[in-house]
Structure 1
Amino acid sequence: MALQEELNSQGAFLFKHRSNLPLLLLVSGILIKLYQEHTYVSHHPQSMLSGILESMAFVVGMLGLVIRAFTVGYTPKNTSGRNTDQGQVADSLNTTGMYSLIRNPLYLGNYLMWLGVAMLTGNVWFIAIFSLTFWIYYERIVFAEENFLRKKFGQHYLDWASKTAPFLPTSFRYKSPDTPFSWKKVLKKEKNGFFALFLVFFIFEASAEYAVNGTLRTEIDWLLIGTVASGIAYTILKYIKKYTGLLNEQGR
């Protein structure tokens, strides 16, 4: 198999199983966090610095979620969905909104969300290894997606790609979308990420506290409140999506 076909095949496979990388990060990160807390707690007691790190990590994660929400809220149906089972789907090419700045805003959002999680370990090497692994992993996914889009949209895609950076903007010529922003679509599509962000942060901190004190986290703070509130919101939105049409919009 030629390299181009091999990369495309790998990308298609990873696209269908792209939820596995966050799980690997979560397990690895928690193990590193537990090891560090158990090994160094007597030399590095809890301090204001750990609280600052947690807050910074959460801000980075929320920034990723905001990028995803802002992107998804302007996209029409079947262009930026979670098409895991059916593979690549694109009825039209997104070139406005966040897509007028970068070609892969959703993946940039994913990276920032999970970078926030990686930052919770406080381990520079883990953060570096995660970042490298993420971009190698998603490089192949992007390769497969761009190959699909190039075949489907031809010169239209090539013209857009030639002036739009893949991940980090090289210019800020923002082009407003023709479609209005849809909060319904954001609530329908991004409820998972909102709850997951709080839940993962809570699991990290609860695991660390158990490793240090041998007790489960019982302190009522912003993280616990956010986790419970986002969990309730997720459950309600999931019910609404499954049993009603309140979140449905034509063409979205």
Structure 2
Amino acid sequence: MALQREFKTQGDFLFRNRSYLPLLFLATGLGVFIYGEYIEPFHIEEGVDYYEFICLGLSLIGLFIRVHTVGHSAKNTSGRNTKKGQIADEINTTGMYSLLRHPLYLGNFFMWLGVAMLAENLWFTIAFILLYWLYYERIMYAEENFLIEKFGDSYLNWASKTPAFIPAFKNYTKAKYPFCLKKVLKKEKNGLAAIFLLFWLFDWVGAAVENRSIQFEVNFWFYAAVASTVIYLVLKIMKKRNMLKESNI
């Protein structure tokens, strides 16, 4: 198979399953974290709370990037589209998309980087960055191939002056569409809940390994996980009742 076609095939597969494959990364990260709790070669004793909040900050930066991108995007763009394949009624070129071609994947990077750093293992974090690059490089290739086929020169002209992943702040153009809160609440509720649930999971697993016993500690991470889960469930119900229906923009 030609390399170009192979990249597209791999990218299409990864695009369809991009919501599930990161679970393998999560399982690996937990394994590394548990192993580190036992032997403690990179274990952080002093200032661990500050370290966790630094990790949380990175993840929330990623969520903010996604929220800003999705909130100002046109309808039927910047979606998950896992079951239906790729969808794009028009090319987003303003707002975050004036800075880089794939702002959602930049947001994903920071969200997952914060989680990767919870493993407290430098080599795992470096491995995550390299694997993320290989993983999303193919997804971006497949996505851009789809957009080129659909929009042709219009997409190529915009892509020629817009970097793929590293923002070019000098190119910023005000978003074409107003911020749509309903769209954000509907599409980004998963990310908010996932962040705090994962941070609580690492905190709980770490305490269980350290104390050699399973117990539930009611702390900040527990309350944050519960609150974000409740928010997720409320928004899920609102979505099913068509209370988060987007406008036609």
Same fold (TM over 0.5): yes
Following TM superposition, the consecutive aligned residue runs of length 4 or more in structure 1 with deviations greater than 6 angstroms are none
Name the amino acid aligned to 1:28. Answer: T
Give yes or no for contact 2:193–2:229 (8 Å, CA) kept in 1: yes
Structure 1 match to 2:162: 164
Structure 1 match to 2:112: 114
Structure 2 match to 1:247: 244
Q: What's the offset of the Cα at 1:39? A: 2.1
Higher mean alpha-carbon deviation, 187-196 vs 20-29, is at: 20-29
Within 5 Å, which residues of 2 pair with 1:115-154?
Answer: 115-154=113-152
Give yes or no for contact 1:53–1:119 (8 Å, CA) kept in 2: no
TM-score by length of 2: 0.95
Name the amino acid aligned to 2:30. Answer: I
SS of the aligned residue for 1:172 comes to helix
Structure 1 match to 2:20: 20
Within 5 Å, which residues of 2 pair with 1:4-43?
Answer: 4-40=4-40
In 2, Cα distance between the equivalents of 1:193 and 1:170? 25
In 2, Cα distance between the equivalents of 1:108 and 1:36? 28
Give yes or no for contact 2:12–2:142 (8 Å, CA) kept in 1: yes
Q: What's the offset of the Cα at 1:38? A: 1.7
1:45-79 alpha-carbon deviations (Å, 9 max, x no partner):
x7332212111100000100000001000112211
Q: What's the offset of the Cα at 1:217? A: 4.9
Give yes or no for contact 1:8–1:143 (8 Å, CA) kept in 2: yes
1:92-114 alpha-carbon deviations (Å, 9 max, x no partner):
11001100000000000001100
RMSD of Structure 2 on Structure 1 (CA) = 1.6
Q: What's the offset of the Cα at 1:216? A: 3.6
In 1, Cα distance between the equivalents of 2:105 and 2:234? 27
SS of the aligned residue for 1:48 comes to coil
Structure 2 match to 1:209: 207
Give yes or no for contact 2:203–2:221 (8 Å, CA) kept in 1: no
1:70 and 1:217, CA in 2 relative to 1: closer, same or farther beyond 3 A? Answer: farther
Q: What's the offset of the Cα at 1:219? A: 3.3
Provide structure 2 residue ranges, at least 5 long, that are not aligned to the other structure.
none
2:76 counterpart (60, 78, 82): 78
Percent identity at matched positions?
Answer: 49
In 2, Cα distance between the equivalents of 1:215 and 1:176? 53
Structure 2 match to 1:187: 185
Provide structure 1 residue ranges, at least 5 long, that are not aligned to the other structure.
none
Within 5 Å, which residues of 2 pair with 1:222-241?
Answer: 222-241=220-239
SS of the aligned residue for 1:29 comes to helix
In 2, Cα distance between the equivalents of 1:226 and 1:115? 19
